[in-house]
Amino acid sequence: MLYVENYFTTVSGVAKSGPIFTAMDNSFKSNPAYAEDLSPFTSAPFTYTDPDNLYSLSIPALWTFDDANKNGLVITYTSPDANAIIILVKKDLGKTVTRALADSNALDLLKVNSDVRVSKTETIKNGSIKMTWASKPGGVQGVSTYKWSGTTLYYLSWMFNTGFEKSYGPVFDQSLASLQIPE
Amino acid sequence: MVEYKHPSNSFSISVPADWTSSENSGYVFLSSPDQNVFVELLAENTVNALDADAFTKTINAIEFNVFSWNKNYTETKREVQADKGYAIITKTLDINTAPFQASTIYEQI
């Protein structure tokens, strides 16, 4: 259980606020036995907004950001135990994206996991497509969604190692529910 | 000062009597009437205990994800005892164009 206390004051009010913060911190009492009933990683979400404003969604603040290519095209957020990951992909396909082209490219991105089986495909917010899937050989399962705008495909994937659904299901539900996709 | 207790019973704290509070699961925002002073408290279920390396990565993630995007963000003090699951990080940053100081205490229990 991780407890976080954030104390904010205007810079001009630091001297006045100091004694108040000290008294508050000294009085702070944690009760982790009750905190264990909280859904994992749902207390501290922050909103990630795509730099091109293609979408925004909430992500657990405790998860580690990685932009491997340093170009914002593939971004990952990984849970502290590395059993769950959120992947945000933005791909320029070089020509106007059609539904068929989007489907094909999204499946290619999904198939980086071995022997993926898609159990459900549905249309969700603003025409984006959501796939629920699992990879038994890879020991992972998750949900991916994708949409396109002009020549750009964006693909978001929430995945966790099999057996961690109880831990990460609520996180992904929260993140998916927060997904905002402008028209 | 009066006692504030989160509805989940996962934490409590004394706050000035005229402050307001708003909360959701595992989180509370406490503020002075003029909103020039405020406190956020949260309890996060991390599923597993964080070892020293994971603890350091996690607090760095929070600092990056939550604070670093604020204009004029500057970390001014850092004390980390990762093996004890404790850290305090102080920074200055702008909130609604006003310069603020924020001190964050991390404690794994």
User: 3-state secondary structure string, A1-57?
Assistant: CEEEEEEEEEHHHHHHHHHHHHHHHHHCEECHHHHCCCCCCCCCEEEEECCCCCCEE
Whether the CA torsion A38, A44, A50, A54 is positive or negative: it is: positive
Same domain, yes or no, for A18 and A91? no
Same domain, yes or no, for A162 and A97? yes
Number of domains into which chain A is organized: 2
Which residue among B16, B60, B105 sits closest to A25, beta carbon to beta carbon?
B105
Chain pair A-B, CB pairs under 8 angstroms: 194
Say whether A2 and B100 touch across the interface (CB within 8 A).
no
Question: What confidence category does residue A72 fall into, taking pLDDT thresholds of 50, 70 and 90?
Answer: low
More confident residue, A8 or A81: A8
Which residues of chain B lie closer than 8 angstroms to A59, CB-CB? 65
Same domain, yes or no, for A20 and A51? no
| Mean pLDDT, range A10-24, rounded to an integer | 97
DSSP element (H, E) containing A77:
strand A74-78
What gap in Å lies between CA A66 and CA B102, rounded to an integer? 25
Same domain, yes or no, for A76 and A160? yes
Same domain, yes or no, for A86 and A27? no
Whether the CA torsion A104, A106, A108, A110 is positive or negative: it is: negative
Same domain, yes or no, for A52 and A31? no
What gap in Å lies between CA A75 and CA A86, rounded to an integer? 8
Task: Indicate whether A183 belongs to any domain.
Answer: no
**Which distant-in-sequence residues (6+ apart) come within 8 Å of A78 by Cβ?**
A63, A64, A66, A84, A85
CA angle B31, B36, B40 (to 5 degrees): 40
Q: How far is CA A30 from CA A153, B6, B42, B43, in A?
A: 45, 10, 10, 8
| Mean pLDDT, range A74-81, rounded to an integer | 92
Which structural domain range is residue A122 located in?
Answer: 41-178
| Mean pLDDT, range B23-49, rounded to an integer | 94
Same domain, yes or no, for A33 and A60? no
- Say yes or no: B52 contacts chain A, CB-CB below 8 A: no
What gap in Å lies between CA A24 and CA B17, rounded to an integer? 12
pLDDT in tens, A26-44: 999 999 888 888 888 888 8
**Which distant-in-sequence residues (6+ apart) come within 8 Å of A108 by Cβ?**
none
Q: What percent of chain A has pLDDT over 90?
A: 69
Which residue among B64, B85, B99 sits closest to A11, beta carbon to beta carbon?
B99
Same domain, yes or no, for A92 and A136? yes
Question: What confidence category does residue A53 fall into, taking pLDDT thresholds of 50, 70 and 90?
Answer: confident
ipTM score:
0.97
Query: In this predicted structure, which of A97-101, A104-108, A167-171 has the lowest mean pLDDT?
Result: A167-171
User: Can you give the CATH number for the domain in which A91 is found?
Assistant: 3.40.1000.10
Same domain, yes or no, for A14 and A68? no
Same domain, yes or no, for A131 and A48? yes
- Say yes or no: B66 contacts chain A, CB-CB below 8 A: yes
Same domain, yes or no, for A22 and A45? no
In Å, how far is A40's CA from the nearest CA of chain B?
5
* Residue A69 pLDDT greater than 80, yes or no: no
| Mean pLDDT, range A68-90, rounded to an integer | 87
Bridge partners of A146, per DSSP, are: A129, A155
Same domain, yes or no, for A77 and A119? yes
Which residue among A2, A6, A81 sits closest to B108, beta carbon to beta carbon?
A2
State the pTM of this model: 0.89
